[in-house]
């Protein structure tokens, strides 16, 4: 159910609609590989090293773009190729391959979207402390992945990065609020009233997606951003307290929160976009003087909304 809802939102969103995915869940891995492979075969790689196809970036660094499928069981990514540092693992680089072991060198700074999507034989991975960014859905569907070593250097974790991994299920069993390096990446198993602990700085994209038993949530003043679809279809959520520390609320953050009756936007937020779409119980809202832009569909399908206070600071309405 969660996967179906996720793909529905992906297909409906321009922001994430660029994802070249033609299937749902792991049953779509082959379709993903086929569509991606078609694109990649039509474009030339800059080189190949021990079964690893790579491209040279504009800054003269190496990005691992794809792996020769025949060599994709045990992979050691080198620190450099032809004297150029290997700094990134590209989108879909190992997607759906039969990896059992991979070594990532400490020269790599980023792991791209879907990089290891559907690597069902991979059981553990150590991410070096050079990595700062882990892309969207990067380990989604790694159904044997039980151990992940995440360094403190990671400051960005994309949406659904660890979906359908045993590692995530273990973390959820330990605490329904899965927090990595001050990023709340998953709260989908939460129930009732929840207080996010102090120290969390961001609520990730789709963090509470479809958390139907969540009724109330308190956000600490350490949080500065709320991601896209963060509380998407939390249908029992009636109350949320957003502190003044929050400066960014992502699009559709409260999409489909049909029980939400009131919410206060802090005067630290400067723009809102499709943020409250489908909040059918919302009756009134006051937009603070800090907001200058109201984007498309912000109050779409808010069928009971009878009062909106819009300040003079707003110069753009979508």
Q: What percent of the chain has pLDDT over 90?
A: 81
In this prediction, residue 3 carries a pLDDT of 52
Whether residue 128 is contained in a domain is answered as: yes
Helices then strands, counting H and E runs in the chain, come out as 3, 25
pLDDT tens for residues 182-238? Answer: 999 999 999 999 999 999 999 999 999 999 999 999 999 999 999 999 999 999 999
* Confidence at 73, pLDDT banded by 50, 70, 90: confident
Whether residue 279 is contained in a domain is answered as: yes
- The answer on pLDDT for 20 being more than 70 is no
- Average pLDDT, integer, range 298-311: 94
- The answer on pLDDT for 295 being more than 90 is yes
Asked if 224 and 247 touch (Cβ cutoff 8 Å), the reply is yes
pTM of the model: 0.85
User: Which candidate, 63, 115, 75, 126, places its Cα nearest to that of 99?
Assistant: 75
- Encoding tokens for residue 14? 């321009």
- State the average pLDDT for the chain: 89
188 and 151 assigned to the same domain: no
CA dist 215 → 105, 175, 208 (Å): 44, 18, 12
* Confidence at 2, pLDDT banded by 50, 70, 90: low
C-alpha triplet 237, 204, 16: angle, nearest 5°: 100
Whether residue 6 is contained in a domain is answered as: no
- The answer on pLDDT for 28 being more than 80 is no
In this prediction, residue 214 carries a pLDDT of 98
In this prediction, residue 14 carries a pLDDT of 40
155 and 46 assigned to the same domain: yes
- Average pLDDT, integer, range 20-47: 52
Per-residue exposure over 201-228, b if at least 16 CB sit within 10 Å of its own CB, e if not? bbbbbbbbbbbeebbebebeeebebbbb
pLDDT tens for residues 276-294? Answer: 999 999 999 999 999 999 9
- For the chain, the farthest-separated pair of C-alpha atoms sits apart, in whole angstroms, at 65
User: Which candidate, 228, 224, 240, 237, places its Cα nearest to that of 190?
Assistant: 237
Query: What does the alpha-carbon distance between residue 40 and residue 63 come to, in Å, rounded to a whole number?
Result: 14
- The answer on pLDDT for 59 being more than 60 is yes
- Average pLDDT, integer, range 14-32: 43
* Residue 11 half-sphere exposure toward CB, CA atoms < 13 A: 10
119 and 189 assigned to the same domain: no
Whether residue 8 is contained in a domain is answered as: no
Check residues 152 and 32 and name the one with the higher pLDDT.
152
* Confidence at 9, pLDDT banded by 50, 70, 90: low
pLDDT tens for residues 237-288? Answer: 998 989 999 999 999 999 999 999 988 899 999 999 999 999 999 999 999 9
* DSSP alpha helix (H) spans, 141-290: 166-174
- The answer on pLDDT for 24 being more than 90 is no
With tokens 């791209």, the residue in question is: 112
- The answer on pLDDT for 12 being more than 50 is no
CA dist 113 → 93, 95, 160, 224, 317 (Å): 9, 10, 10, 24, 32
pLDDT tens for residues 187-202? Answer: 999 999 999 999 999 9
CATH number at residue 305: 3.80.10.10
98 and 116 assigned to the same domain: yes
- The answer on pLDDT for 10 being more than 70 is no
User: Domains in the chain: how many in total?
Assistant: 2
| Structural domain boundaries, residue 53 | 19-174
165 and 182 assigned to the same domain: no
39 and 127 assigned to the same domain: yes
Query: What does the alpha-carbon distance between residue 119 and residue 17 come to, in Å, rounded to a whole number?
Result: 23
CA dist 244 → 230, 248, 249, 269, 270 (Å): 18, 10, 12, 8, 12
């Amino acid at each position: 159910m969660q996967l179906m809802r996720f793909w529905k939102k992906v297909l409906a969103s321009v922001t994430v609609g660029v994802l070249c995915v033609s299937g749902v869940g792991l049953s779509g891995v082959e379709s993903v590989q086929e569509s991606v492979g078609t694109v990649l075969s039509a474009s030339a790689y800059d080189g190949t090293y021990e079964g690893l196809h790579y491209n040279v970036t504009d800054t003269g660094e190496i990005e691992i773009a794809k792996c020769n499928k025949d060599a994709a069981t045990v992979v050691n990514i080198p620190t450099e190729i032809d004297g150029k540092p290997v700094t990134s693992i590209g989108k879909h680089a190992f997607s759906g391959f039969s990896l059992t072991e991979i070594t990532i060198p400490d020269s790599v700074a980023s792991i791209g979207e879907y990089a290891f999507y559907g690597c069902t034989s991979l059981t553990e991975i150590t991410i070096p402390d050079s990595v700062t960014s882990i892309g969207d859905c990067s380990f989604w569907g790694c159904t044997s992945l039980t151990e992940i070593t995440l360094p403190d250097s990671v400051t960005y974790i994309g949406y659904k990065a660890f979906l359908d991994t045993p590692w995530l299920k273990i973390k959820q069993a330990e605490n329904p609020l899965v927090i990595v390096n001050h990023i709340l990446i998953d709260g989908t198993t939460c129930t009732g009233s929840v207080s996010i602990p102090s120290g969390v700085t961001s609520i990730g994209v789709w963090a509470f997606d479809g958390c139907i038993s969540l009724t109330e949530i308190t956000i600490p003043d350490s949080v500065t951003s709320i991601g896209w679809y963060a509380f998407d279809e939390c249908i029992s959520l009636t109350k949320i307290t957003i502190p003044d520390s929050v400066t960014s609320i992502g699009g559709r953050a409260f999409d489909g929160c049909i029980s939400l009756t009131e919410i206060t936007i802090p005067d630290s937020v400067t723009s809102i976009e499709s943020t409250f779409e489908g909040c059918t119980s919302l009756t009134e809202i006051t937009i603070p003087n800090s907001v200058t832009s109201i984007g498309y569909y912000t109050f779409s399908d808010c069928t009971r909304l009878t009062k909106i206070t819009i300040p003079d600071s707003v110069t753009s309405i979508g």
